[in-house]
Amino acid sequence: MKRNTRLFLLTGLLALSLLGCNLLALPRLLEQPTATLRAEPQGEAPVPTPKPARIEVVATPTPLPPTAVQEADAEEQLLINIYKRVNPAVANIRVAKRVKGFRFEFEIPGFPQGPEESPVPGEGSGFVYDKEGHIVTNNHVVEGAEEIEVTFSDGTIVEAEVVGMDPDSDLAVLKVNLPPEGLHTVELGDSDRLEVGQRVIAIGNPFGLNGTMTTGIISALGRTLSLGPISTTVGGRFSIPELIQTDAAINPGNSGGPLLDSQGRVIGVNTAITSLSGSFAGVGFAVPVNLVKRVVPELIEKGRYAYPWLGITGIALHPQVVEAMDLPVERGALVTEVISGGPAEKVGLRGGDKDRTIEVQGREIPLGGDVIIAIDGVEVKSMEDIIIYLVRETKVGQRVKLTIIRDGREMRIEVELAERPRE
């Protein structure tokens, strides 16, 4: 009996001990966000649900290797330094042009006549070429402008006048009257040494946003720009050879601004974009700086640039043309037309026969013309090769030797180059 009584007392003490532990733990349980206590509806006021504990998130970014951080910092600093050095030499160009308005041939009661001419504002970019105040920009930026105003990065605003224009390279030169110490010039690079994939930087004034920098790479080299699906209006009648293609963002207002290499040297003049919307779509073009080096000094001295001219139009050979004409070569430039009175006509170069054509990719090609396979011994694979050679290597009045295929036989003809017609 006593033994059972002691066992009962021990069991009771153990139960009370466990109950005490649970009661002590109850407040901590109430603090847990997963613990929710609700009173059973018995006509009494409900027990409020305790607020969950606030959870603090501690950011733990993945650490970068020290070398990666150093490389990122170095690239960032490179761009910062280029901007600080070059942006003072970049100009925002605002122009006022007059365009023909609308005039009815007869009066309509209650409908007033429109103005014969109305002013239209325009914008572009440029860069200081020398300490004499010459600024390089695009021809299409200032063509037809009656007033030109230039704004620099420090807020200086000054009027400018046109010194020379060249629609065939889409280049123009302006002049501002500022003291040399107030002008920051750029360094010109070498566009013959560029590589696809090379980093490039554009600085300009897209949509009038002064001093905007964008970056990208050289997407391609040696592009030839002719009239086509180009959003920028390029006024020349001849193709511009050796353009630089870039994916650095270029928009309306960038025209005429510099395209730079990673040393901050000018390698091109931003000129045009290919776009269906009118805004940047990833394909921009810049006039190579080595063409700038040839054209700009002539524009400053003479106001215009004289291009050597052969007086032909042509296309690269296509396999269908080679087969149709039974040619002994597969590469070359087929002469489709010889311009009347031009140098080529004077020496008897033959164009295609309009009554004998072949359709190639939806285009009618006249057959029977001479095929140019070399100029001064330099191989010709396309019409672009001829344009590039004439622009880079020749002058007006110079004689060149053409190697041609005529009637299946190879011949050589010497031609004296004339100046491109301006009308």
Closest by CA position to 338, among listed 413, 410, 394, 411: 413
- The answer to whether 210 touches 151, Cβ cutoff 8 Å, is yes
Q: What number of other Cβ atoms are within 10 A of residue 388's Cβ?
A: 18
Extract the tokens encoding 336: 């489709």
- The answer to whether 171 touches 299, Cβ cutoff 8 Å, is yes
Query: Rounded to whole angstroms, how far apart are CA atoms 389 and 309?
Result: 11
Closest by CA position to 252, among listed 203, 208, 186: 208
> Given the structure tokens 């001479």, which residue do they identify?
370
Query: Rounded to whole angstroms, how far apart are CA atoms 31 and 172?
Result: 77
C-alpha to C-alpha distances, 253 to 65, 124, 270, nearest whole angstrom = 41, 4, 10
Closest by CA position to 198, among listed 254, 262, 241, 250: 262
Closest by CA position to 405, among listed 366, 353, 349, 363: 349
CA 168 to chain centre: 19
The residues with which 93 forms a beta bridge, in sequence order, are 124, 150
Query: Rounded to whole angstroms, how far apart are CA atoms 52 and 392?
Result: 78
Q: Which candidate in 125, 134, 140, 239 is catalytic? A: 140
Extract the tokens encoding 265: 């040297």
Indicate the SS3 state at residue 78.
Answer: helix
Q: Which candidate in 153, 191, 239, 255 is catalytic? A: 255
Query: Rounded to whole angstroms, how far apart are CA atoms 218 and 283?
Result: 10
Q: Which candidate in 153, 168, 169, 170 is catalytic? A: 170
Indicate the SS3 state at residue 24.
Answer: helix
Query: Rounded to whole angstroms, how far apart are CA atoms 175 and 165?
Result: 12
- 140 catalytically annotated: yes
Closest by CA position to 162, among listed 191, 188, 196, 134: 134
Query: Rounded to whole angstroms, how far apart are CA atoms 162 and 141?
Result: 11
Query: Rounded to whole angstroms, how far apart are CA atoms 224 and 222?
Result: 6
How buried is residue 411: exposed, middle or buried, by Cβ count under 10 Å (0-12/13-18/19+)? exposed
Q: Which are the catalytic amino acids?
A: 140, 170, 255
